[in-house]
Amino acid sequence: WRPEPRDSGIMSETKQGALKIAVLGAGSYGTAMAYVATHNGHSVMVYARSKEVVDGINKNHINPKRFTDVKLPDSITASTDIKEVLKDAACVIHAVPAQHTPDFVGKFKDAFVKGIPVVSTAKGIHVKTHRLMSEAIPAALGDRSEEIPLVFLSGPSFAKEMVKGHPMAVVVAAHELKMAQHVQKILSSIRFRCYASNDVIGVEVGGALKNPLAIGAGMARGLGFGQSTIAGLVTRGCREMRQLAIALGGKPETLAGLSGVGDLMLTCFSSLSRNNRCGMALAKGKTVEEAFEEIGEVVEGVPTAKEVVRLAEIHKLELPLFRAVDLILSGKVKPDKALRLIMGRDLGTEEFH
C-alpha cells in the first residue's frame, strides 16, 4: 500500500531548500518522522541497529518491522553507521524511547555535529536519573552539551496516521525561540504543521504526563465505561498536568496547547494509543508484563507514572488521578477499586490553578 501522493509544496512563510535530515531510531515514530520529513523534498537517512531493517528500507523501501504495508519514499535511506547518518545532516531527529535515550546519547555523543540541532521526540521521565529529557540529554552529552542545540517535539501525532499523510499539528520547543523556529521551518509542511515555543518544561511535561493518564483512560474503557467518564478524566487530568508543570517551572498556558490537552485528548480517546491499550488490557485482568507482550512496543506511561508520584511528593501535590494509576500499575489496587477511591474523595470546588 502506498499513501496518496503528497503535496510537495509548503506554506510560503516556511519554505526551505532541500536538506538532509538524519533520523535516529527506526521504530514506529522514527519511521513516521522520516516519512513526514520528506514532504519538503528533503532527503532522509535513518539510523537502525538492525541490518534487516536497513536492507528493507534501502532495497524495498519498506521497514520490515514497522508499517510493512507502507511503501516509503525513495528519498528515505538507512544505515547501521551513525556517522554516515549524521554526516552533512542539517537537522537530527532523535526517535529513541525515553528510557534508552541517555545511554544512546552518551554512547554516540562524539558523533553529533556542533551547531546542528537535535530534535528529541522521546516523551517521558528517565527513571534511573529522575530527569526529563531536557535534563537527561544534556547530562548524557557531558562537555558537548553547549555545542549541540536541543529541540523537543511533542503534540497529537500517531505514527500510523503520519505515514498515511494525515494533516496534523505539533509543537517544537527550545530554550531559545530562534532555534525552535529554525526547526519549525525545516519540518513544517502542508501536512505537518509545527508551532514554535520556548517553554521546554511545559511541552515536555505535557508529552510525558499524558501517557499515564492514557493508561487510566484505557482502564476506564476496559471496565466498560463510556465517553463521559473519559472526558472527565481528560479534564481533571489536564489540571493535574498543569499543576506539576507550574511546580517544575513551566507555563500553565502551554498545557492548554498541542503538547498538553491536544496530545492528552488523542491518547485518551483513541485505541491506537499504546498506553490506552495497556490500560484496557489491565482492566481485563492482564498483568503489566502480559500487556507489554500483547502490545509489542514500549509503553512509556508505566515508568512515568511512578516518577510523577515521586515528583508529587517532592512538590506536595495531590494529583489523585496519577496516584491512582500508579497504585494499579504497582499492583496495590485493582482498577475498579481505584475508581472508587477517586470518586469517593472529599467534594470540592472546581479550580483552575
User: Strands (DSSP E) along the chain, which ranges?
Assistant: 20-24, 43-47, 76-79, 91-94, 118-120, 125-126, 131-132, 150-154, 168-173, 192-197
| Residue corresponding to grid cell 523534498 | 41
Residue 256 neighbours by CB distance under 10 Å: 15
Write out 267-299 in H/E/C secondary structure.
HHHCCCCHHHHHHHHHHCCCCHHHHHHHHCCCC
Q: In the structure grid, which three cell numbers stand for residue 243, read together?
A: 499543576
Of the residues 210, 251, 286, 334, only one is catalytic, namely 210
160 is catalytic: no
3-state SS record for 183-250: HHHHHCCCCEEEEEECCHHHHHHHHHHHHHHHHHHHHHHHCCCCHHHHHHHHHHHHHHHHHHHHHHCC
Sign for the CA dihedral angle at 158, 126, 214, 231 comes to negative
Q: Collect all residues with Cβ–Cβ distance below 8 Å to 199 and sequence separation of at least 6.
A: 173, 250, 251, 254
Give the rounded distance of the alpha carbon of 44 from its chain centre: 20
Which residues are designated catalytic? 210
